[in-house]
């Protein structure tokens, strides 16, 4: 299959700025951009299967952009870990959109990427290039179950050292089996971009994200989470984009009650659930891919 190109953009911050990497699929001249934004410890190559399917269906009429949010993958690590928070991520992606200048913008966000999407799509008076036409929220909403945050906090920042890609993939599966059924080949393909060689000649690997991501995350309390939830509902209620909500039927992060509330308020999202999947669908399975293609390319 064809491969994406790796591009970089400079994003400002209080410490002189940082580089954000992004993977570009499809026609780089296309005015229709689908921006795919990954989850907390993941990176842009999570969307390889989906991006290939979008390009195969839309031909040269589409450009799929999959950033490595700062601190992950090929992007820089921040000097100040307090920059690893949703408002700063949203600012980086607005810088990216200002460079891309899409005439039509669709946004797919998994977990953290969906939170960023809500913040951006819920803003009024954005430039035309940043106005989201269609929004896919993958297993996330304004209310995040506290128990799920505690579960994630148990492994966040624990990078580990692995003797082989397969050993690393097995270790990631131990904390990611809620992603749902994958063949060994599919899981290894999803795992490889998550790894970084130690570079000491040992052939060993570690995970490819900044362990300091855990610092602001672990500072979240039930009280500050509730405050953030109120702001996210406010943003959600202001979204004008046509919205699809994807939920793993066994998700511990997006509750059935929150998902139903999202179908009744704000953009009144359409809800699709996938059985046998928790947090979060990976858009590798054909039925998951088809749900997105049908929505974005209708």
Per residue in 133-159, pLDDT tens? 999 999 999 999 999 999 999 999 999
Same-domain status, 49 and 139? yes
Kindly report whether the peptide bond that precedes residue 280 is cis, defined as omega within 30 degrees of 0: yes
CA dist., res. 127 & res. 187, Å (int): 39
pLDDT in tens, 61-102: 999 999 999 999 999 999 999 999 999 999 999 999 999 999
**Are residues 51 and 85 part of one domain?**
yes
193 in the same domain as 79: no
pLDDT at 31 over 80: yes
Residue 210 neighbours by CB distance under 10 Å: 20
Distance CA 153, CA 223 (A): 16
**What is the sign, positive or negative, of the torsion defined by CA atoms of 112, 118, 124, 128?**
positive
Longest pairwise C-alpha distance within the chain: 56
CA dist list (Å): 123 to 38, 118, 226, 231, 276:
20, 9, 20, 12, 34
- Give 233-278 pLDDT, tens digit per residue: 999 999 999 999 999 999 999 999 999 999 999 999 999 999 999 9
Q: Hey, CA dihedral for 21, 7, 96, 110, is it positive or negative?
A: negative
Residue 215 lies in a domain: no
Both 260 and 123 in one domain: the answer is yes
pLDDT of the residue at 2: 79
Same domain, 124 and 26: yes
Quickly list DSSP for 38-62. --TT--GGGGHHHHHHHHHHHGGG-
CATH number of the domain residue 39 falls in: 3.40.50.1820
Cβ proximity of 245 and 269 under 8 Å = yes
* Residue 204 and residue 291 share a domain: no
How far apart, in whole angstroms, are the C-alpha atoms of residue 210 and residue 78? 8
What is the domain extent for residue 188? 158-208
261 three-state secondary structure = helix
Taking the C-alpha atoms of residue 154 and residue 200, their distance in angstroms, rounded to an integer, is 28
Do 120 and 259 reside in the same domain of the chain?
Answer: yes
The arithmetic mean of pLDDT across residues 163-190, rounded, is: 96
* Distances, alpha carbon 8 to alpha carbons 65, 102, 157, 188, 223, in Å: 12, 17, 25, 26, 37
Q: What's the total number of domains in the chain?
A: 2
Residues 114 and 226 in one domain: yes
Query: What is the band of 105 on the pLDDT scale with cuts at 50, 70, 90?
Result: very high
């Amino acid at each position: 299959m064809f491969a994406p190109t790796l591009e970089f953009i400079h994003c400002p911050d209080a410490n002189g700025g940082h580089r954000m990497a992004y993977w570009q699929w499809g026609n780089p001249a296309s005015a229709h951009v689908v921006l795919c934004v990954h989850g907390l410890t993941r990176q842009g190559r999570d969307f390889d299967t989906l991006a290939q399917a979008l390009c195969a269906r839309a031909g040269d009429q589409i450009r799929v952009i999959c950033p490595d949010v700062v601190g992950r993958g090929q992007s820089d690590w921040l000097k100040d870990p307090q920059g690893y928070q949703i408002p700063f991520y949203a600012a980086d992606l607005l810088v990216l959109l200002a460079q891309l200048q899409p005439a039509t913008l669709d946004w797919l966000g998994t977990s953290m990427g969906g939170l960023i999407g809500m913040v951006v799509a819920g803003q009024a008076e954005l430039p035309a290039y940043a106005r989201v036409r269609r929004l896919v929220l993958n297993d996330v909403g304004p209310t995040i179950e506290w128990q799920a945050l505690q579960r994630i906090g148990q492994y966040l920042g624990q990078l580990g050292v692995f003797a082989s890609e397969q050993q690393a993939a097995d270790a990631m599966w131990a904390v990611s089996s809620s992603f749902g059924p994958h063949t060994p080949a599919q899981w290894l393909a999803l795992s490889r971009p998550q790894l970084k060689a130690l570079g000491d000649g040992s052939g060993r690997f570690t995970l490819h994200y900044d362990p300091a991501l855990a610092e602001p995350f672990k500072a979240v309390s039930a009280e500050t989470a509730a405050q953030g939830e109120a702001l996210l509902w406010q943003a959600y209620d202001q979204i004008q984009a046509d919205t699809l909500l994807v939920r793993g039927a066994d998700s511990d992060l997006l509750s059935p009650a929150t998902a139903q509330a999202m179908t009744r308020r704000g953009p009144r999202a359409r809800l699709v659930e996938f059985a046998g999947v928790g947090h979060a669908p990976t858009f590798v399975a054909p039925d998951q891919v088809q749900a997105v293609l049908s929505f974005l390319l209708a």
